[in-house]
Amino acid sequence: MKLKRLLRALVGTLLIGLIVLALVRVVCLRVFTVVTGSMEPTIHGTAGGEEGFGGEHVLVAFGPLFDPSALERFDLVVFQREGQGAPLCKRLVGLPGDRLQLAGGDLLLNGMVLPAGVARPPWVDVFDQASDAVEEHFHYARTADSPWRVDDGELMLSAEDVARGAELGMMLFQRELTDTVRLGDGALDAGVLQVNDARLELEFFVEPGANERGGQLRFRLVEDGDRFEVVLELGADGAELSLQRQPGDEVLARVPVANVAGGWWRLGFENRDDHLALELADVRGERMPLTVTASYSGNRAFQGLLPDGLSSIAPRVAFGGSGVQARFRNVSVFRDLYWTATGEWGARPLIELGPGEYFAIGDNSANSLDSRHWGPLREEELIGRPVWIVGPADSRRPLE
């Protein structure tokens, strides 16, 4: 009898649980399938994934789990426009009361680029050493006496005899930084529009003895012909890190750092909306991470002749050094989202949003129909917020 009562209790609990889950799914959660490429690479549409795959399946919170008044800039949202067949997913760039503009790929609020420190969309990777060939994306000397050697996942630099500041000691990103996206199958779909903002991530190891020789490491980002470098000077009395604009011309920040020789360090360097940020951390976590930031007012445009569609002819990302032996690994290059000023609304010099109005654009903005073409969304058209990719099975991940 006790066994029967226990079994009945277990069955009852299971049924109640299933009913609750069903109610939650009906009332609060729903799965939509994205079948276009307008949100690449955040959500993969028809490209990539399993054979015969027609788009990723997105879990969307709605009903009691969705409060439009709690939406923040750059949140993802699903909406249903009147007279439109299927719901669509885009990213919110404009909130009620905003005065915004799309200019040169950037989002301007009240005529200004976004301030430092505010939330922004995730970076989009255009090179990942784990899956992309260094030789196809970077230019470096490949002669017999080259200081560079690519070996077993590491980029090895023997630059003891390289002159200070010489390009011979630099690994140069040779591709244009465009609105490239990585599809669901991992392949890169080359873009056509030159993107403004970039980020470099890597890990580096400086061989012991570099301090005594007085070597240096350099990490570079170029935008509109304006060159910014992180310069790590290694000397007998310690190391110094500086953030320089047109190196040798203007020092934006300068800080002393611990002796970096003999251990692996993780570096991130980005230029976004005229704000520079550097993060330097000991891979082993034994020392406090270092963050250095600086802002500037507009780029100094390249003064020479440029091919159509380009604002710079120099490699947009580079790293390396001189007077030092060093190794680099886990190199990645990222770009920012690029907002094209197209459509009746997107090309306006000023977009003013009233109460309950939102402006939404696809992450793959060059291939998206959105508020730039239709105008603002009304609050009552918003259905919910995407929270997770639930299918195919090999692509499950949270959404940002």
Provide the 3-class DSSP secondary structure of residue 249.
coil
pLDDT of residue 45: 85
pLDDT of residue 25: 47
Domain 2-109+340-398 has CATH 2.10.109.10: yes
Q: What is the pLDDT of residues 219-240, one digit of tens each?
A: 999 998 899 999 999 877 778 9
Token reading at 395: 């692509």
| Alpha carbon distance 376, 354 (integer Å) | 9
- DSSP annotation of 246: T
pLDDT of residue 21: 39
pLDDT of residue 2: 58
pLDDT of residue 4: 53
The residues, any chain, with a CB within 8 Å of residue 328's CB and separated by 6 or more, are 154, 155, 157, 171, 202, 203, 204, 205, 319
Exposed, middle or buried by CB within 10 Å (0-12, 13-18, 19+), for 260? buried
Q: What is the pLDDT of residues 262-313, one digit of tens each?
A: 899 999 999 999 999 999 999 998 888 999 999 998 777 666 666 666 666 7
Minimum mean pLDDT among 33-37, 72-76, 110-114, 323-327: which range? Answer: 33-37
pLDDT of residue 136: 94
The pTM for the full model equals 0.88
| Alpha carbon distance 57, 335 (integer Å) | 25
- From 335, 316, 375, select the one nearest 172 (Cα to Cα): 316
- pLDDT confidence of 335, banded at 50, 70, 90? very high
- From 348, 336, 338, select the one nearest 101 (Cα to Cα): 348
Segments in 32-182 forming alpha helices (H): 134-137
Residue 5 has pLDDT above 90, yes or no: no
- Residue pair 155/328 in contact (Cβ under 8 Å)? The answer is yes
- pLDDT confidence of 51, banded at 50, 70, 90? very low
Backbone angles phi, psi at 2, to 5 degrees: -60, -40
Backbone angles phi, psi at 386, to 5 degrees: -65, 135
pLDDT of residue 174: 93
Q: Taking the CA of residue 294 as centre, how many other CA atoms within 13 Å lie in the half-sphere pointing to its CB?
A: 18
Rg (CA), the chain: 25
- pLDDT confidence of 211, banded at 50, 70, 90? low
Identical fold for domains 2-109+340-398 and 124-335, yes or no, is: no
Q: Exposure pattern of 238-253 as b/e (b: 16+ CB <10 Å)?
A: ebebbbbbebeeeeee
Backbone angles phi, psi at 371, to 5 degrees: -60, -20
Residue type, position 245, single letter: R
Class of domain 124-335: mainly beta
Provide the 3-class DSSP secondary structure of residue 285.
coil
Q: What is the pLDDT of residues 351-361, one digit of tens each?
A: 999 999 999 99
Q: What is the pLDDT of residues 137-194, one digit of tens each?
A: 999 988 888 999 998 789 999 999 999 989 999 999 999 999 999 988 889 998 889 9
- pLDDT confidence of 395, banded at 50, 70, 90? confident
What integer best gives the mean pLDDT of the chain? 87
The residues, any chain, with a CB within 8 Å of residue 125's CB and separated by 6 or more, are 182, 332, 333, 334
The residues, any chain, with a CB within 8 Å of residue 237's CB and separated by 6 or more, are none
| Alpha carbon distance 247, 400 (integer Å) | 35
Q: Where are the domains of the chain?
A: 2-109+340-398, 124-335
- pLDDT confidence of 6, banded at 50, 70, 90? low
| Alpha carbon distance 256, 235 (integer Å) | 11
| Alpha carbon distance 358, 78 (integer Å) | 12
Residue 248 has pLDDT above 90, yes or no: no
Beta strands in 169-315 (DSSP E): 170-173, 181-182, 188-189, 198-206, 216-223, 226-235, 238-245, 250-257, 264-272, 275-282, 290-295
pLDDT of residue 18: 40
pLDDT of residue 27: 43
- Residue pair 357/371 in contact (Cβ under 8 Å)? The answer is no
Minimum mean pLDDT among 42-46, 227-231, 329-333: which range? Answer: 42-46
Q: What is the pLDDT of residues 93-137, one digit of tens each?
A: 999 999 999 999 999 999 999 999 899 999 999 999 999 999 999
